[in-house]
Structure 1
Amino acid sequence: MKIYILNKVLEFDNNLESIDDIFEKVKDIISTSNYILSHFEVDGDEVHDDFYDYFSQNIKNIEEVKVITKNIKDMTRDILISNIEYLGEAVLEVELLANEFYKEPNKESWSELVKLLESVRWLVDTFYVIDMSDELRYIVTSYEKWNLYAKDIYYLKDIMEGFGEVFKTDDIAFLPEILSDEILPLFKDMKDKLDTLVDREIDKSKLN
């Protein structure tokens, strides 16, 4: 198979033993560039996650792999825009979830709560990655507003610690109040801040 990455073309045998070498080589090449891995295009199909499993299951038939990369600035902007889109959708989800816990939460309610906590972890983790990026100054429109968004992130972490105490004591009576009175307004505020921080005009032009 042939691997196309940046300005290089690599060749590997189609066997399981090659997979570790493929990912190691791809990692080495990207680490010495100003780019970040976005996804793979394997024989025309886009693969965005579970890379190792995909290669393990299809290694014998793969002919051509294109390693799709993005520069750090574009990747950072994409993450922030994903955050904006998530927060916009999550506002309604949190409101519905709070109502369910005010009544009688069922199995699906708890499943949705777990998803919410995972998404919050993603928001926090991506914040720290972006906050340490040298590209931040080229992406956000105001450091002052970014620092206010940072305060929201820290407050969100405090709320999550409160969730932990609720689970420890098995007292879920406070869950709907935390969701409706703390997380819901915080999500709205975070989205409003990000909307003013990120210029989305470039993304609109890509859609034309």
Structure 2
Amino acid sequence: MPEKKLKDQNMPSRKEMLDQMTISANQYLDRALPEIKVLADGFYQGPSEETWKSLLQLLEGIQWLLEYMNHLVCHKELYANGDKFREISANLQNQLHQFEEALKSQDATLMGDILHFEVILILESAKNEILMIIDKEGIGHDLN
């Protein structure tokens, strides 16, 4: 029994895990936002094999972000702005639905527009809220 107790003490709390996810989300968005602009341009120019690969990577990243935001909404009592992620998530899911419709109709220009004018703005909004968490909670200050 003492081993279990010791193991539990070494387990991060839910808040610590969400703090770590917040830092990861911020780092992901730092890398992804400029790449989404490049991806949108790829759709405007006619998608290449590389464009489709980049889209798949973006969709995987967005799926992870949606899961992260769902955790924040479920534990909104841990962060002052946690409930704002409900709206951000809903907006992002709506745009993914619009993107799916553009994909079905093979409208590459619309796909580029959705990425450039909608998805980027939503993810920038998410990044701003994430930065508020980082600043308010004082997390990530020791990371380089």
Distance 1:137 1:105 in 2: 43
The structure whose residues are more often helix, as a share, is 2
Q: Is the 8 A contact 2:26 2:130 kept in 1?
A: yes
Q: Which residue number in structure 2 is paired with residue 203 of structure 1?
A: 140
Q: Is the 8 A contact 1:166 1:174 kept in 2?
A: yes
Match of 1:118 among 35, 60, 64: 60
Query: Unaligned stretches of 5+ in structure 1?
Result: 9-32, 36-67
Query: Unaligned stretches of 5+ in structure 2?
Result: none
Q: Which residue number in structure 2 is paired with residue 82 of structure 1?
A: 24
Larger radius of gyration between Structure 1 and Structure 2: 1
Give the partner amino acid of 2:6.
Answer: N
Shift of 1:71: 1.9
- Give the root-mean-square deviation of aligned CA atoms: 2.4
Give the partner amino acid of 1:153.
Answer: S
Distance 1:119 1:185 in 2: 16
Distance 2:64 2:133 in 1: 19
Shift of 1:168: 2.1
Residue 7, structure 1, aligned to residue 6, structure 2: yes
Shift of 1:5: 6.2
TM-score with structure 2 length normalisation?
0.83
Using a 3 Å threshold, how does the CA distance of structure 1 residues 164 and 202 change in structure 2: closer, same or farther? closer
Give the partner amino acid of 2:61.
Answer: S
Aligned length: 141
Distance 2:66 2:113 in 1: 22
Which residues of 2 match residues 39-58 of structure 1 at below 5 A?
Answer: none
Deviations 1:44-92 (A, max 9, x none): xxxxxxxxxxxxxxxxxxxxxxxx7322111011111211221222110
Deviations 1:143-180 (A, max 9, x none): xx333332111100000111221222223231110111
Q: Is the 8 A contact 1:88 1:188 kept in 2?
A: no
Q: Is the 8 A contact 1:149 1:194 kept in 2?
A: no
Percent identity of equivalent pairs: 24
The structure whose residues are more often strand, as a share, is 1
Match of 1:164 among 74, 96, 100: 100
DSSP 3-state at the match of 1:146: coil
Q: Which residue number in structure 2 is paired with residue 19 of structure 1?
A: none
Q: Is the 8 A contact 2:46 2:108 kept in 1?
A: no
Q: Which residue number in structure 2 is paired with residue 137 of structure 1?
A: 77
* Larger RCO, structures 1/2 (Cα 8 Å, 6+ apart): 2
Q: Which residue number in structure 1 is paired with residue 51 of structure 2?
A: 109
Q: Which residue number in structure 2 is paired with residue 94 of structure 1?
A: 36
Shift of 1:111: 0.3
Q: Is the 8 A contact 1:98 1:177 kept in 2?
A: yes
Give the partner amino acid of 1:157.
Answer: Q
